[in-house]
Amino acid sequence: MTASNGDDWTGNLDEIPRAAYKGGTMNRREILHTLAALTGAAALPRRGLAEVVPFPGNSAQGAKTPTQDTPNLVTLFDYEAAFPQRVEKMAYDYISGGAGDEISLRRNHIAYEGIRLKPRVLRDVSRIDTSVELFGQKLNYPILLAPTAYHRLVHPEGELATARGAGAAGATMVVSSFATTAIEDVGKAATGTLWFQLYVQPDRGFTKDLVQRAESAGCKALCITVDTPVAGTRNREMRDRFQLPRNLSMENLRALGEKVRQHRDYKEGFGEDIYSVVLDPSLTWDGIEWIRSFAKVPILLKGILSPEDARLAVEHGASGVIVSNHGARDLDTVPGTTEALPGVVEAVEGRIPVLVDGGIRRGTDVVKALALGARAVQIGRPYLWGLSVAGSEGVRRICEILVTELRAAMALCGRPTLASIDRTVLWPEKPAIPRKEEGPGSSGGRRPGAGG
């Protein structure tokens, strides 16, 4: 991949060692169990899928907060390692998995590992400002909680706990159309900013109602997911015969009746056909224009990877785009989102903000995404790991860890504001200033034919 100034800023991804779980004798889940044991997270009790009792760590009786119980969980990866202890295998696979052979899933994060940073020194970093403005909304930091379905799979308080955790952390939460709590209830529980993620429904009257319900519940932007006309091939879910536990449902879609259960319900026969009852495969750009005609809030298109689609998004009046491969859950072998980001940024030419998600696990990843032109990033799985370990407090803690890492990375790179983060914070593959011995006229002794 090449930056616009011609410098390669990534390492060769193929040279990066594959994660230990790929091709090793242990599968990823087994490795996470081992890691959990090492971090002390193995002592955490496991909960059943369908359990709906109050979570002990969140009780009002002055119980110790779960983070006091889990002082060893200091990175997002520590929470990932603790996660398998907290949920049933079916939920674990549903959340952790990706499409097909999970090639894009691995690539999402590995692509960040391949990018190196170039710190600058002796710059005043005594104040770090992570704030950013998006659509007239002031965000404390450029990290949002991406929409994810079914929070009550991992915690009995589900989306309510996520909303409280996000509020406590000062983070914006994007609520999924497939939430297991109705948007009205999330709106009441939320103390911070909410956005809503829309899966356009085949029933357009219902879709319009849903958008208006989200707006009435206080959602300040609409993310229309455009990368999922049909559901991805997720083999882990097929093998597990994934099914949403009977005591949970997609509360926002309740009025559509029992048929919505067939979505991703492998026990009910999903998997034999590519279409889903709750996704509209006929959606086109006209549909986006139609939603724009009545929506009162800014509309972002989530799931843009190609520069061509990014240009069309601008032409069709989107307020923003989110570079996303849906956490690599839809189409396998697409690039890691970091790889797609520069092309989209170039295509929109600064006319609308570009956000990105997928594989962001470290503050340094956030710096890299911003350096490549993203205005903000979203995280998906990490806050679900936090939610499973410690409810709302776990969500808050995930945000806190990432923001603290971001602040440290900004200070250590000599970039005290988001505006000061640009491509020059990325280490160029080729030295930007040619070394003396390699300059014009020098024999250098390394170029072919130059040796003597």
Ligand X SMILES: Cc1cc2nc3c(=O)[nH]c(=O)nc-3n(C[C@H](O)[C@H](O)[C@H](O)COP(=O)(O)O)c2cc1C
Which of 85, 193, 197, 424: binder of ligand X (CB under 6 A)? 197
Q: Is 149 in the site for ligand X (CB under 6 A)?
A: yes
Q: Which residue, 9 or 178, is less far from ligand X as judged by CB? A: 178
Q: Is 424 in the site for ligand X (CB under 6 A)?
A: no
434: Cβ contacts below 8 Å, ≥ 6 apart: none
The distance of closest approach from Cβ of residue 151 to ligand X in the complex, given in angstroms and rounded to an integer, is 9
Q: Is 193 in the site for ligand X (CB under 6 A)?
A: no
Write the binding mask 241 to 280 for ligand X: x where contact by CB under 6 A, - elsewhere: ----------------------------------------
CB 332 within 8 A of CB 103: yes
Q: Is 225 in the site for ligand X (CB under 6 A)?
A: yes
Q: Is 146 in the site for ligand X (CB under 6 A)?
A: yes
The distance of closest approach from Cβ of residue 199 to ligand X in the complex, given in angstroms and rounded to an integer, is 7
Say if residue 8 is exposed, middle or buried (CB neighbours under 10 Å; 0-12, 13-18, 19+): middle
Distance, in Å, from the CA atom of 148 to the CA atom of 353, rounded to the nearest integer, reads 22
- Measure Cα distances from 294 to 197, 198, 224, 291 in Å: 16, 14, 14, 6
CB 80 within 8 A of CB 41: no
Q: Which residue, 87 or 424, is less far from ligand X as judged by CB? A: 87
Using CA atoms of 57, 58, 59, 63 in order, give the dihedral in degrees to the nearest 10. Answer: 40
Which of 148, 180, 276, 364: binder of ligand X (CB under 6 A)? 148
- Residue written as tokens 């297991």? 180
Q: Is 358 in the site for ligand X (CB under 6 A)?
A: yes
Q: Which residue, 9 or 199, is less far from ligand X as judged by CB? A: 199
Angle at 175 between CA 201 and CA 391, to 5 degrees: 140
CB 410 within 8 A of CB 367: yes
Q: What is the 3-class SS of 127-154, one letter each residue?
A: CCECCEEECCEEECCCEEECCCCCHHHC
Distance, in Å, from the CA atom of 73 to the CA atom of 83, rounded to the nearest integer, reads 11
SS3 of residue 8 by DSSP: strand
Q: Is 178 in the site for ligand X (CB under 6 A)?
A: yes
Query: Which residue in the shown chain puts its C-beta closest to ligand X?
Result: 380
- Residue written as tokens 């990877």? 305
Distance, in Å, from the CA atom of 267 to the CA atom of 12, rounded to the nearest integer, reads 42
Which of 70, 176, 180, 388: binder of ligand X (CB under 6 A)? 176
The distance of closest approach from Cβ of residue 55 to ligand X in the complex, given in angstroms and rounded to an integer, is 19
Q: Is 98 in the site for ligand X (CB under 6 A)?
A: no
Task: Tell me, yes or no, if 326 is annotated catalytic.
Answer: yes
- Tell me which stretch binds ligand X (CB under 6 A): 7-15, 84-92, 379-387, 439-447: 379-387
Q: How many binding residues for ligand X (CB under 6 A)?
A: 22
Q: Is 379 in the site for ligand X (CB under 6 A)?
A: yes
The distance of closest approach from Cβ of residue 444 to ligand X in the complex, given in angstroms and rounded to an integer, is 43
Q: Which residue, 114 or 359, is less far from ligand X as judged by CB? A: 359
Please provide the size of the chain in residues. 452
Q: Is 363 in the site for ligand X (CB under 6 A)?
A: no
User: What type of residue sits at position 442?
Assistant: S
Residues identified as active-site: 326
Query: What is the contact surface with ligand X in residues (CB under 6 A)?
Result: 95, 108, 146-149, 176, 178, 197, 225, 302, 324, 326-327, 329, 357-360, 379-381
